[in-house]
Structure 1
Amino acid sequence: MPDLLLVELLKQGNIERWNEWRKEHPGESPELNETDLHGLSLIGADFNRANLSGADLSTSDLRNASMEYANLVGCNLNQATLSNAHLHGADLSGCQLHAAHMDSADLSATNLMDADLIDADLHGANLNSATTTGALLGGANLRDAVITPEQIQSTRSPDDIP
């Protein structure tokens, strides 16, 4: 269950205090699953190892956020801004990232299995060692992205959706 005081810090946009709390409690992994954080300014927030599964972060500004090894399974990040975000090792399986702005994001070693990246901007993103099996990449901008042909071949087309 999400800690309501921590959620309130985020909803108030008090990222500085949130990040201080994270430094004061380095061994804790915040439980923010199913939390509604859509449309918030979360620039530079420390979500490393946080549980955000099923959370709504659509249209949120997560530029320069640190989300390494975070659980984002089934999360809604549609139209979110994740430019220069650090997501190394994060689990984004089944995540909605439709039209997300992820330019220059570090997505290395992430799990993007069955994620919806249709029309996402991945310009310059690092997808080295990312699992992309079943991901939807139709219309995604992959210019200058670090991604292998094998990773692209393992994705699905929007036409494959029943």
Structure 2
Amino acid sequence: MDGRDFTRHDLSGARLRETSFQRAKLEGAVLVKADGYRVRFVSAVLNGARLDDGLFSDADFTKADLGGASLVRADLRRARFFHASLRGADLTGAKTLGAELLNADLSGARWTDGKTICAEGSLGQCN
């Protein structure tokens, strides 16, 4: 699936385990309740995508653009977000235990508590 265009596609409930979407376009895609265990979204564009209630533990979002994405109640345990953009994303209720956020841009993101909005310039943690 590397480099393919899934803009605004509905992949709700899809079983995507260990699939690679490197450099893929998933803007506005719907991945609600998708099983994305160990999926690779390296350098993928997921602006405005909906990953609500999805299983994305151990997924790799390195350098992915998740600006404005919804990850409400998503399972993101042990996921990697190295240098990813989560600007304005909604992480309400997301499970983030062990998630790696090295240099991830969390500016304007709604944090897991559903109340905190990360300050501009929040890199690697929500300030």
TM-score (normalizing by structure 2): 0.85
The alignment of Structure 1 onto Structure 2 pairs a total of residues equal to 120
Contact 2:22/2:41 (8 A) holds in 1: yes
CA shift at 1:15, angstroms? Answer: 3.0
* Secondary structure of residue in 1 paired with 2:101: coil
- Match runs of 1:65-104 below 5 Å: 65-104=49-88
Residue 13 of structure 1 corresponds to: 5
| 2:22 aligned with 1:38 | yes
Residue 129 of structure 1 corresponds to: 113
CA shift at 1:41, angstroms? Answer: 1.0
Cα pair distance change 1:14/1:106, threshold 3 Å: closer
Distance of 2:93 and 2:31 partners within structure 1: 17
Residue 149 of structure 1 corresponds to: none
Matched residues, percent identical?
22
The CA deviation string for residues 39-72 of structure 1, in whole angstroms up to 9 with x for no partner, is 1111000000000110100110000000000100
Q: Please tell me whether Structure 1 or Structure 2 has the larger radius of gyration of its CA atoms.
A: 1
Cα pair distance change 1:92/1:128, threshold 3 Å: closer
Letter of the aligned partner of 2:87 in structure 1? D
Distance of 1:91 and 1:110 partners within structure 2: 6
Residue 103 of structure 2 corresponds to: 119
CA shift at 1:141, angstroms? Answer: 6.0
Q: Which runs of 5+ in 2 are unaligned?
A: 115-121
Distance of 2:58 and 2:112 partners within structure 1: 22
Cα pair distance change 1:58/1:124, threshold 3 Å: same
Distance of 1:112 and 1:67 partners within structure 2: 14
Letter of the aligned partner of 1:56 in structure 2? R
CA shift at 1:139, angstroms? Answer: 4.7
TM-score (normalizing by structure 1): 0.68
Contact 2:52/2:74 (8 A) holds in 1: yes
Greater helix proportion: 1
Structural RMSD (CA): 2.1
Cα pair distance change 1:31/1:121, threshold 3 Å: same
